[in-house]
Amino acid sequence: MRLLTFFAKRFVAGETAEEAVKAVKKLNGIGMSTSLDILGENVTNQEMAIKTADNYISLLQTIKDHALDSHVSIKLTQMGLDISDDFCYDNVSRILEKADSLNIFVRVDMEGSPYTERTLQLVYRWHEKFPKMGTVIQAALYRSEKDVEELNKRKIRVRLCKGAYKEPSSVAFPKKEDVNANYVKLVDMLMKDGDFPGIATHDGVMIRAALDAAEKYGRTKEFFEFQMLFGVNRAAQRELAEQGYGMRVYTPFGTHWLPYNLRRLRERKENVIFILKHFFKD
């Protein structure tokens, strides 16, 4: 338990909003923006889901009050997706209404593949009413090329990641090299037609591919950004920010850090390797 707590302090910005605000101000001070995430997922109790949305509404006001350069990221299973799509839609709409009133962007995170289609259908509905929001696409999934094409068509912002969930070979590329190849393909699509793509990667090869695609399509620095995880590859974060590229740090906080991190580590051995690889880097 002590070891897990030690590791968590590197990759989680604390347990309270006050601690998260301090972390965000520090990152803002060195030229980086953030996306705040209140840890938690798979809520099946309506009262708890409503309370979580209320916490996000409070967080949005905190961002405004402290003049933070930050978005928020939400997981739909926190918001009642396992209860019903309609309940989740109404619950998240409260967050989006508050964010819209404060001019703060909201990112709907992507979870395991059983939720992908339902998540996207809800995102399409929300985006018609609240255009200052976007979602996440995982390059590991076979379906992602068609999803990026549709999201580009609808002018919905995409954060592109490789994907951290353990998925069956029936829906996802089983080989790392195929995931990487698909990531490069999707980067190209987003740089060509995407609305302010977020390139979420710590992989230098993928960063280079994104820069090449941006140059290919004449997309300048102010029309895309890189995104990385809090506490991971901090030297690369600083380097990209110093070069004038947008760098957004995904910044989780909250009391549910233990079950969240244990679940991620159990799901894929690659997650364990990833954490160990970056723990001892600056």
Task: Show me where the domains of the chain are located.
Answer: 2-279
Tell me the pLDDT tens digit for each residue of 218-264: 999 999 999 999 988 899 999 999 999 999 999 999 986 666 665 55
Which residue from 12, 3, 61 is spatially nearest to 249, judged by alpha carbons? 12
Which residue from 194, 186, 184, 180 is spatially nearest to 225, judged by alpha carbons? 194
Residue that the structure tokens 């244990």 belong to = 262
Q: How long a stretch of residues is the chain?
A: 282
Please give the Cα distance from 67 to 15 (Å, whole number): 21
Give the helix/strand (H/E) hosting 106. Answer: strand 106-108
Give the predicted TM-score (pTM) of the model. 0.92
Residue 5: its pLDDT value, please? 57
Residue 42: its pLDDT value, please? 86
> How is residue 31 written in tokens?
């030229």
Residue 233: its pLDDT value, please? 87
Known catalytic residues are 109, 159
Residue 166: its pLDDT value, please? 85
CA dihedral 211→216→217→219, nearest 10 degrees, is 30
Which residue from 116, 117, 109 is spatially nearest to 56, judged by alpha carbons? 109
Residue 88: its pLDDT value, please? 98
Residue 85: its pLDDT value, please? 98
- CATH no. for 2-279: 3.20.20.220
Residue 232: its pLDDT value, please? 86
89 exposed, middle or buried (CB, 10 Å; 0-12, 13-18, 19+)? middle
- Taking 70 as the pLDDT cut, the residues of the chain under it are 1-9, 256-282
Residue 2: its pLDDT value, please? 54
Residue 7: its pLDDT value, please? 58
